[in-house]
Structure 1
Amino acid sequence: MIIESHDPSNPVVLCLHGGPGMPQFFMNDTYPTGLERDFTMFWWEQRGAGMSYSRNIPDDSMTLSQMIADTIEVADYLRERFGQDRIILLGHSWGSFLGIQVAEAAPDRFIAYVGMAQVSHQLRSEVLAHDLMMSAYEALGNTRMVSGLAAAPVTMQDGLSPEYMPWLPS
């Protein structure tokens, strides 16, 4: 957990990073946001990501429902610590998917939700990306990439193939 603020009485922003597993605070040195001037920024490295990583985290605890519960618990901690009834929830990419689930589950804890690179239908996005890559590589005549993508289908009916997402169990 990393907190940045010029004035801790400013509105609290709970940042949900992308990934899953891609904390973003480290990019602040290269691409500073300056948000800490107007907000109390709370950069939280979610369960299993960044400084929260541990080999001892049980695989069965890495679920969406657990991530939602974790986020609500962190939000409650921030609300109490900074004496704010409601805080701002900001989600980027995967964090935007998590954020809308959290905002729906606990709307009383948030004054606003902000989504960046909002995920709304991930499977449809993957299908479109796969189709676009196939077309682009076909136009370039890159038969190696075309055959690789053809062997790694992504469809609305069958979802993501293990070949397309190598980190998924087969």
Structure 2
Amino acid sequence: LTSIRFLLFCTDRSGFQDLMFEALIRLNPSMIPKHQEMIEFKNPPQVNFGEIFIGISYLPTSERFTININKLRYFCKIEKEKKIDTRLTITLFHNGRRFLQKKIPLTLNGSTSIDYEIKDTITENIPQNDIYSVYVHVEFNSKDNSFISSSSILLGENTRYESDWHKMLEYPRQTHHRWYPFLG
């Protein structure tokens, strides 16, 4: 290790990048400590913020990808007179670039029901050779007078839910439903 290079980019919504700052810091042996130290990262506890019931399917013949957003459950207990404004954002990425985003506003209230019905569908044309580089990001944001919370899940190759993605591709023409937890 002889130098460290810092680059700062400004990226606009279309993905174009402008280099804003660049610095190269030369290191000499006196700046590098002679000993090595092992750093052990601990797994933080995962807090479940609630769950979302989603169905995903892909039709290879028509090259159609469908997401069914059905229900939310196990969110914080809400008093009967109280309402919390929330927003569910579903974003599709291809090779790291966003190509579709849908925002679904919701109001959670203190009803006796645990499940909140959504019943929304997103359908997008995705070619067969591109489906492997598509990622689905589902984000849940809630805002109250006393707190703001956010949590998300990611579906696709090399993610926590990679097995669900492979099931969808191996068994086309079937909708694969599952409860996905929002972890914090």
Q: TM-score, normalised by structure 1?
A: 0.22
Compare relative contact order (CA 8 Å, sep 6+) and give the higher one, 1 or 2: 2
Richer in helix (by share): 1
TM-score w.r.t. the length of structure 2 is 0.21
